[in-house]
């Protein structure tokens, strides 16, 4: 038993040295766990910022001018006053995200108690900016019109007092969500890439034949690759969580980091086995890359990290309950956001262990078949 453990340890050290001599893989690890996580947390603007807007003022009244001056920095770029024929060219050229069209006799109709129509044209290719600014423009126009008619700004008293308390993210800061979810996706991606690339690299360099003549079993070879690549991803995850997410971005971590790392180890056991299985199916790195695309997209999009699983069709929920990313995402959100303990996440840990055991068995059977064909 001790001899086998020593063999697995030495083979794992060989994998670490091979990774150390691969500068592209090292750059990938450093970039994904630092700059990629930081940009994912900071790339989503929290408020409107310098939205380009233009106004078509066919009324040229006091009210229309009040509306035009209500759009100011830093939420909006100072609005350009343009003619109606310049609307489509401006939107087509991407100079404006919003164009507000105020019709003739707008002020007169408002004072007469009519309901004039104001048209807001949006460049929906800038989806997030257009979606956020749509409600802001409507609110600004309505407040300016109400103030002009009533001669003072007032807000009608609500019939009820609705007290909103946002748990776990009081300010609804997007960086708290984006950075952690990016790290969760990167853990899955790196573990699959590193183990799969290590096996394919050995096949391309002919070192698998050297292993076949050594007194080692396929299980020992696989376990060495699993623990070595999992250790690299685990250390990179801890550094990213501590330095980038907690310190650079300022996301408060509520739960136990050791418990999160325990869940990460079980998740890495499953995903590294998945990487080895995919490497036995692919004959080259380009084929492995194509398999990565087909695998990573559903794992990331349907795991519950982007949209809640409850909003997905039932059959998708049942299928994705067999994926390790689903339980790892659930576990990570519970620990890092809500401060959950072992009594809450134990079921996710059991699921990850069971899924990892099944994936390891499948990968081992496929790996043995591949080695026998090479022999």
> Tens of pLDDT along 227-275?
999 999 999 999 999 999 999 988 888 889 999 999 999 999 999 999 9
Distance of CA 184 to the CA centre of its chain: 8
Backbone φ, ψ for residue 78 (5° rounding): -45, 120
Tokens linked to 199:
């096996």
Q: Which residues make Cβ contacts (< 8 Å) with residue 131, sequence separation at least 6?
A: none
CA dist., res. 299 & res. 194, Å (int)? 17
CA atoms within 13 A on the CB side of 153: 6
Specify the residue for token string 């068995």. 361
CA dist., res. 6 & res. 333, Å (int)? 37
What's the pLDDT at 354?
A: 96
Strand pairing of 119-122 and 98-102? Answer: antiparallel
Tens of pLDDT, residues 61-106: 999 999 999 998 878 888 899 999 999 999 888 889 899 999 999 9
Specify the residue for token string 């790392």. 261
CA dist., res. 349 & res. 331, Å (int)? 8
Question: What domains sit in the chain, N to C, each tagged with a CATH number?
Answer: 2-43+173-374 (no CATH), 53-150 (3.40.1710.10)
What's the pLDDT at 167?
A: 78
Low-confidence stretches of the chain (pLDDT < 70) are: 44-47, 152-158, 171, 208-209, 211-212, 373-375
How would you write the chain as a 3-class SS string?
CHHHHHHHHHHHHHHHHHHHCCHHHHHHHHHHHCHHHHHHHHCCCCCCCCECEEEEECCCCHHHHHHHHCCCCCCECCCEECCHHHHHHHHHCCCCCEEEEECCCHHHHHHCCCCCCCEEEECCCCHHHHHHHHHHHHHHHHHHHHHHHHCCCCCCCCCCCCCCCCCCCCCCCHHHHHHHHHHHHHHHHHHHHHHHHHHHHHHHHCHHHHHHCCCCCHHHHHHHHHHHHHHHHHHHHHHHHHHHHHHHHCCCCCCCHHHHHHHHHHHHHHHHHHHHHHHHHCCCHHHHHHHHHHHHHHHHHCCCCCCCHHHCCHHHHHHHCCCHHHHHHHHHHHHHHCCCCHHHHHHHHHHHHHHHHHHHHHHHHHHHHHHHHHC
What's the pLDDT at 46?
A: 55
Specify the residue for token string 């996706």. 185
pTM, two decimal places: 0.76
Strand partners, 81: 55
Specify the residue for token string 């398999």. 291
* Number of Cβ within a 10 Å radius of residue 6: 10
């Amino acid at each position: 038993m001790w001899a086998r453990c020593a063999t697995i340890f030495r083979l794992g050290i060989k994998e670490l040295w091979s990774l150390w001599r691969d500068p592209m893989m090292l750059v990938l690890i450093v970039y994904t766990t630092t700059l990629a996580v930081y940009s994912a947390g900071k790339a989503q603007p929290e408020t409107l910022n310098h939205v380009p807007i233009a106004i078509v003022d066919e009324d040229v009244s006091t009210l229309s001018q009040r509306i035009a001056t209500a759009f100011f920095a830093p939420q909006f770029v100072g609005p350009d006053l343009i003619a109606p024929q310049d609307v489509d060219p401006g939107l087509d050229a991407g100079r404006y995200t919003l164009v507000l069209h105020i019709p003739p006799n707008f002020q007169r109709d408002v004072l007469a108690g009519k309901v004039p129509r104001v048209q807001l044209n949006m460049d929906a290719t800038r989806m997030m900016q257009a979606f956020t600014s749509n409600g802001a423009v409507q609110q600004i126009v309505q407040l300016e019109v109400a103030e002009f008619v009533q001669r003072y700004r007032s807000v009608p008293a609500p019939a009820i007092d609705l007290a909103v308390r946002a748990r776990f993210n009081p300010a609804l800061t997007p960086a708290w969500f984006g950075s952690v979810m990016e790290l969760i996706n990167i853990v899955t991606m790196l573990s699959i890439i590193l183990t799969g690339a290590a096996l394919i690299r050995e096949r391309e360099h002919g070192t698998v034949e050297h292993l076949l003549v050594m007194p080692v079993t396929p299980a020992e070879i696989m376990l060495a690759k699993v623990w070595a690549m999992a250790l690299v991803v685990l250390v990179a995850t801890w550094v990213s969580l501590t330095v980038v997410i907690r310190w650079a971005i300022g996301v408060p971590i509520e739960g136990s980091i050791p418990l999160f790392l325990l869940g990460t180890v079980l998740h890495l056991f499953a995903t590294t086995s998945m990487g080895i299985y995919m490497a036995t199916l692919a004959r080259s790195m380009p084929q492995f890359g194509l398999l990565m695309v087909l695998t990573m997209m559903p794992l990331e999009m349907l795991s519950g990290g982007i949209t809640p699983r409850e909003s997905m069709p039932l059959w998708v929920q049942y299928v994705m309950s067999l994926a390790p990313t689903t339980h790892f995402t659930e576990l990570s959100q519970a620990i890092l956001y809500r401060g959950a303990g072992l009594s809450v996440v134990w079921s996710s840990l059991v699921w990850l262990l069971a899924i990892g055991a099944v994936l390891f068995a499948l990968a081992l059977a496929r790996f043995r078949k591949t080695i026998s064909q090479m022999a």
